[in-house]
Structure 1
Amino acid sequence: MQTSIVIMAAGKGTRMHSTLPKVLHKICGKPMLFYIIREALKVSDDVHVVLSHQAAMIKERLKQDFDNLHFHLQDLQNFPGTGGALMQQGSKKLLDTKYNRILILNGDMPLIYADLLENLLRVNAPMVLGILELQDPSGYGRILMDGDCVKGIVEEKDCTQVEKKIKKVNAGIYVVDKKLLQEFIPALENQNAQQEYYLTDIVQKGVQKGVEIKVFMGDVESFMGVNSKLDLCSAQEIMLQRLRKKAMLNGVIMHLPHTIYLEEDVEFVGECELQEGVRIIGKSVIEESVIKSHSVIEESIIKNSDVGPLAHIRPKSIIKDSHIGNFVEVKAGDLEGVKAGHLSYLGDCEIKKGSNIGAGVITCNYDGKNKHKTWIGENVFVGSDSQIIAPVKIDSEVLIGAGSTISKDCNTGDLVLSRVEQKNVTKGYYKFFKGK
């Protein structure tokens, strides 16, 4: 059955103790709200997002990933609470959705996935509640049942001591016929401890009207809500497990996978290998490559290469057919067929095949005001502890002696030396340490 989806993301998220809106806190490189919207769009082409606190910031961020959402503003001052999200000014437009069935989700449930939503939508009833059974139900609204029939939901703040012991809880997910919402939402009242309009009250109204109300039992992981930074950490670990599993099923070898950090946009091509402690961030592509222990890859492309251990590939780098060794940092570097074995900084540079970068080599790319580029051709040998002061061009087949400072362009075939002449003072050691 075709369904419209409403995602409620208007809350301040005070338990996050942050100036950043709760739904923009990141899990594996993406705002938590991103994940639920992505999954919602897999099952519906009519997705609505209700915002209030810092709405402009959230809306602008979502535009980076989505261009087919409907946004609505909740008036938290006059219409607070989950029910208020659907009854604010302009709610008639919100409830006049494309389809006659509406799935209501929370924006702080990043672990939900499309297959689960599709199973939920297969439950045929005018009203369906997504519920959980928890050993510790603290913080959740309790589901009141009479046999298999739902007779109400009570928010924990309003629970009696007996009701607090109920383990079946409200997950905050509802599937409701639109005509019922259009009838029930305007009739909500805020006569409760918090003086808020509770969306859960539509269940009581449904019971009073004799509406058939069914439940859908979800799993704790997928229905998990994020209300604190501790929850955020737990959700990210689950998301990481999913990303690692997906990568390994697609042919990636992982050593001690629980130590490896991946982000949502990372892409693997072919057979890759990740050793322990690897961190891959942003829109990175790893193709037929080995990333060794405790290396970091950020927003870069690694193809048919080995990197690390303890290397750092910073954004906008492209590394192909190359060996990048330990303690090498590359930033905005385009390297093809290069060997940089250890202890180098290669920033804002282009280096061609067959070139060898010795230990301690630095491309001096920043003059204090602007960044400048270094260009190195094919089969160039750069001796250890050399500094290349950009902008500079080093043609193919150049030999640069160790300890040189290069500030001028070098021509093909050159041997380039830039050193202060060595001076040996006879018996200088004794003069220094033992007096005149």
Structure 2
Amino acid sequence: MSLLTIILAAGKGTRMKSENPKVLFEAAGRPMVDYAVSAAREAGANEINVVVGSGAELVKAHLGNSVTYSVQKEQRGTGDAVMAAEEIIKDKKCRVLILCGDMPLVSGATLRNFVEEAEHHPVSFITVDVEKPFGYGRVVRGTNGNVLRIVEQKDANENEKRIKEINTGIYLCDGDTLLDRLSRIDTKNAQGEFYLTDIVSEGAYAYKAEDEDEFMGVNTRAHLAAASKMIWRRRAERFMEEGVSILDPDTFYAGADVEIKKDAVIYPNVYIEGETIIHSGTTIYPGSRIKDSVIEENCEIKDNTLIQDSFVGKGSSVGPMAQLRPGTKLLGENKIGNFVETKKISFGEGSKASHLTYLGDADIGKDVNVGCGTITCNYDGINKHVTTIGDGVFVGSDVQFVAPVNIGKGALIGAGSTITKDVPEDSLAITRAKQLIKEGWVSSWKKSKEKK
């Protein structure tokens, strides 16, 4: 039988104090609803339907055509949210897995085990023992251990609040049985809402999960920070198991799509985001942030460096306090030093720019030395222009290349020069005013000032 997953994502998230849909808040760099979608797919879902409400268009714009949608027009409880997908459920002979879009820690493996074990039960749910229950309904059992009912937290009396076994809000039901029970939910409660928890009142199978952290519901920004911390820590542990040295796992921040190869070393307070690959033997020092980039083998990314949409070739050193902007390609054995900024450049093997330099829109050959204070003047106020520098060029300090300009192989550019014309191979280019010296001038000038 096919598996239809319903993800509840219609809530306003009032306690987040935001106009944005709660499920789009990022946990460890990824919108919470994405975790639910991924977990559902890992559990074997044939179709995923997301129930939207508040901020529906934003959720749809984010998820696109990867899922289908149902709309909860009014906020009348979790049971009403599931009923929003009634047309989809009744058209299929299926099992229905119900998830919450604000539970980013639930794993696909747990869901898959739940689906397999609860296969022959018409209504099932996941329960877990917790130290401090919050967020979802409590399981109330009879003397024989059968589930009598589930109590929503807001309706629980003082005795029920001491119960430490909770219903996590995750259900698996036969489609027909689910709709039948939903149609008979009693709304005689203080809020007049349809509680999804009530579908177990006629009997249900409770699947006991082991890890209470998986079922943390995010209702506040404090919950979001706590969930993110757990996700980042899990990723750190996975990388360490694969041979990565992470000096402080509690201050390691890596996105879901990041790859880090064995024998890489990551110092504290490093952020690695997007589709980034860190290869073996590379060390990332504290305070650095790397996004959507490839760092090849045996590189050093020194303290407080920002790298985005860039490629750093083997054996290169970047930083401290350097910035590689989108389109930077370091082809290997390069040095980019402190306070150097690059953008949309190709930097040949063995070339270096050690400090206080801007290189933008440039094609630079191999074994080029770029002196301190060099600037490629790439923008004329309307268009961007390219600077081309050949192999083996030596650029002195405080040089400005006014693009477009081409510098031939082996040329030498004198310090303090502003280069506006092409320079042939093996040539010296220097633009300076003639140095004028007037001996004794300073003393005479000072005396003339004193007489006035």
CA contact (8 A) 1:306 1:324 kept: yes
Q: Structure 1 residue 248: deviation in Å?
A: 3.9
Matched, 1:234 2:234: no
CA contact (8 A) 2:125 2:171 kept: yes
**CA pair 277-217 structure 1, distance change in 2 beyond 3 A:** same
Within 5 Å, give how 1:417-428 maps onto structure 2.
Answer: 417-428=430-441
User: What residue number does 2:276 align with?
Assistant: 266
CA contact (8 A) 1:46 1:98 kept: no
CA distance in 2, matches of 1:308, 1:292: 5
Q: Structure 1 residue 119: deviation in Å?
A: 1.9
Q: Which sections of structure 2, spanning at least 5 residues, go unmatched?
A: 252-268
Within 5 Å, give how 1:13-412 maps onto structure 2.
Answer: 13-43=13-43, 44-63=45-64, 67-76=65-74, 80-88=76-84, 91-96=85-90, 100-124=94-118, 125-146=121-142, 147-204=144-201, 207=202, 211-257=203-249, 258=251, 259-281=269-291, 283-288=292-297, 289-304=299-314, 305-321=316-332, 322-337=334-349, 338-412=351-425
Q: Structure 1 residue 410: deviation in Å?
A: 2.7
Which residue identity lines up with residue 129 of structure 2 in the other structure? E
CA distance in 1, matches of 2:146, 2:356: 68
CA contact (8 A) 1:28 1:262 kept: no
Identity of aligned residues (%): 39
Secondary structure at the aligned position of 1:239 is classed as: helix
**CA pair 270-364 structure 1, distance change in 2 beyond 3 A:** same
**CA pair 379-143 structure 1, distance change in 2 beyond 3 A:** same
Secondary structure at the aligned position of 2:215 is classed as: coil
CA contact (8 A) 2:6 2:82 kept: no
Secondary structure at the aligned position of 1:329 is classed as: strand
Secondary structure at the aligned position of 1:33 is classed as: helix
Secondary structure at the aligned position of 2:355 is classed as: strand
Q: Structure 1 residue 176: deviation in Å?
A: 1.5
Which residue identity lines up with residue 331 of structure 1 in the other structure? K
**CA pair 306-86 structure 1, distance change in 2 beyond 3 A:** same
CA contact (8 A) 2:302 2:320 kept: yes
**CA pair 402-163 structure 1, distance change in 2 beyond 3 A:** same
Secondary structure at the aligned position of 1:422 is classed as: coil
Which range is displaced more, 108-117 or 239-248? 239-248
CA distance in 2, matches of 1:224, 1:431: 81
Which residue identity lines up with residue 59 of structure 2 in the other structure? I
CA distance in 2, matches of 1:384, 1:336: 20
Task: Report the TM-score, using the length of structure 2 for normalisation.
Answer: 0.85
What do the CA deviations read for 1:411-435 (whole angstroms, capped 9, x no partner)?
A: 3223222233333343344356563
**CA pair 71-326 structure 1, distance change in 2 beyond 3 A:** same
Q: Structure 1 residue 58: deviation in Å?
A: 1.7
CA distance in 1, matches of 2:420, 2:93: 68
Q: Structure 1 residue 107: deviation in Å?
A: 1.0
CA distance in 2, matches of 1:373, 1:28: 39
Which residue identity lines up with residue 157 of structure 2 in the other structure? T
Secondary structure at the aligned position of 1:162 is classed as: helix
Q: Structure 1 residue 9: deviation in Å?
A: 0.9
User: What residue number does 2:5 align with?
Assistant: 5
Secondary structure at the aligned position of 1:116 is classed as: helix
What do the CA deviations read for 1:107-157 (whole angstroms, capped 9, x no partner)?
A: 112222221211222322322222333332244322212253221111121
CA contact (8 A) 2:313 2:330 kept: yes
CA distance in 2, matches of 1:431, 1:121: 95
CA contact (8 A) 1:372 1:391 kept: yes
User: What residue number does 2:254 align with?
Assistant: none
**CA pair 186-253 structure 1, distance change in 2 beyond 3 A:** same
Secondary structure at the aligned position of 1:3 is classed as: strand
CA distance in 1, matches of 2:276, 2:238: 11
CA distance in 1, matches of 2:365, 2:28: 34
Alignment RMSD, CA only? 2.5
**CA pair 134-214 structure 1, distance change in 2 beyond 3 A:** closer
Secondary structure at the aligned position of 1:94 is classed as: helix
What do the CA deviations read for 1:365-394 (whole angstroms, capped 9, x no partner)?
A: 333444333332222222222222333333
Which range is displaced more, 309-318 or 175-184? 309-318
Which residue identity lines up with residue 23 of structure 1 in the other structure? V
Q: Structure 1 residue 290: deviation in Å?
A: 2.6
Secondary structure at the aligned position of 1:115 is classed as: helix
Secondary structure at the aligned position of 2:196 is classed as: coil
CA distance in 1, matches of 2:27, 2:364: 35
Q: Count residues with an aligned counterpart.
A: 423
**CA pair 433-166 structure 1, distance change in 2 beyond 3 A:** farther
Q: Which sections of structure 1, spanning at least 5 residues, go unmatched?
A: none
Which residue identity lines up with residue 218 of structure 2 in the other structure? V
Q: Structure 1 residue 106: deviation in Å?
A: 1.0
CA contact (8 A) 2:318 2:335 kept: yes
CA distance in 1, matches of 2:348, 2:28: 30
CA contact (8 A) 1:28 1:264 kept: no
What do the CA deviations read for 1:81-119 (whole angstroms, capped 9, x no partner)?
A: 21121223xx33321475622111111122222212112
Which residue identity lines up with residue 156 of structure 2 in the other structure? C
